[in-house]
Amino acid sequence: MPNRRAVYGVFVLAGIANATIKPAAATITGNGWLHAMLNGFDINAIVWMALAIGIWRLWDEGTQACGVTECGAVMVASLGFLMPLASVSWMVLGTTCLCAAVLSSSSPSFRGLTIIGLAAVRDPVAKGLLDVFAEPLLTLDAYVSSLLLILLGKSVEREGNIMAASSDHALLVMSGCSSFTNLSLALLAWASIMVGFSRPTWKLLWIGGTILGTAVVLLNSARLSLMALSIDTYRIVHDEWGADVFLLVSTMLIVSSIYVGLRHAR
């Protein structure tokens, strides 16, 4: 019988290829090879990192035999790749790996399958939730951001996901600036590195993830607050060097949280 790393290795690579080939082709056509590669073929670098960690763990630990029933289930699931939709391919890949991980939680390949599953479902699930719950999520962002401004002594008017801290400038919080997007990526980075490079307890994963998630939401809310102050601060934070500073601070926050988590896990 083939081992799990061979069966799932082929399945995972086929799923990733099917999910990325059309977006990659569109990015290459529009921006060229170099720009497309530097931008991860329009897929976030954290997702690529998590997939790489998961594949590495699966290859390293998936040496146990794969049963006939399991092989058949993977083959049936792979039929979902026939649909030329990236979101469907990600969901088929992710749910299959997560189901396999849950059904064999004592298996050495549990870590690799779990990380791959989380990385694969992150994009379609995050986008789906943001589409369905856009209004309450964006309203929550605006609410938290307006609270921060009020704590600083600013007078803020808010209606839904629109807030204004001055008479001549108002900020409309849109999906691209939602804390939910950054939150899902931060938690994916946290889970994939913690599970991939250590054996943390569930308590550590939940507590650390909650602290990191709260910090990410507050950081994004602080950015939105600055953008709502005036048109000048909006341009600096959104369009100029402020965007790079925000990215750097967000990265440092995630890296430092994971570092502390790994030290507690060992």
Q: Please count the other Cβ atoms lying within 10 Å of the Cβ belonging to residue 125.
A: 16
pLDDT value at position 238?
80
Give the three-class secondary structure for 20: helix
What letter does residue 107 receive in the DSSP assignment?
S
Least confident of 56-65, 135-144, 198-207, 255-264: 56-65
pLDDT value at position 50?
95
Sequence-distant (6+) residues with CB within 8 A of 106 are: none
Give the three-class secondary structure for 166: strand
233 burial via Cβ count (<10 Å: 0-12, 13-18, 19+)? middle
Among residues of the chain, what percentage have pLDDT more than 70?
A: 94
Per residue in 49-73, pLDDT (tens digit) is 999 999 999 888 767 777 888 888 8
Give the three-class secondary structure for 3: strand
pLDDT exceeds 90 at position 106 = no
Averaged pLDDT for residues 139-146: 89
Total residue count of the chain as it appears in this document: 266
CA distance from start to end of the chain? 35
pLDDT value at position 188?
95
Q: Read off the pLDDT band of 108 (50, 70, 90).
A: confident
Q: Read off the pLDDT band of 121 (50, 70, 90).
A: very high
Q: What is the mean pLDDT of the chain?
A: 86
Averaged pLDDT for residues 19-44: 72
pLDDT exceeds 80 at position 29 = no
pLDDT exceeds 70 at position 254 = yes
pLDDT value at position 154?
78
Amino acid identity of residue 120, one-letter, is A
Q: Please count the other Cβ atoms lying within 10 Å of the Cβ belonging to residue 56.
A: 14
Q: Beta strands 157-159 and 169-172: pairing type?
A: unpaired
> What are the φ/ψ torsions at residue 132 (nearest 5 degrees)?
-75, -40
Least confident of 33-37, 159-163, 210-214: 33-37
Contact 87, 23 (CB under 8 A): no
pLDDT value at position 214?
94
pTM over 0.85: yes
Q: DSSP letters along 180-200, please?
A: HHHHHHHHHHHHHHHHHHS--
Least confident of 85-99, 135-149, 235-249: 235-249
Per residue in 194-248, pLDDT (tens digit) is 999 988 888 999 999 999 999 999 999 999 888 888 888 888 888 767 788 888 9
Half-sphere exposure of 200 (CA within 13 A, CB side): 24
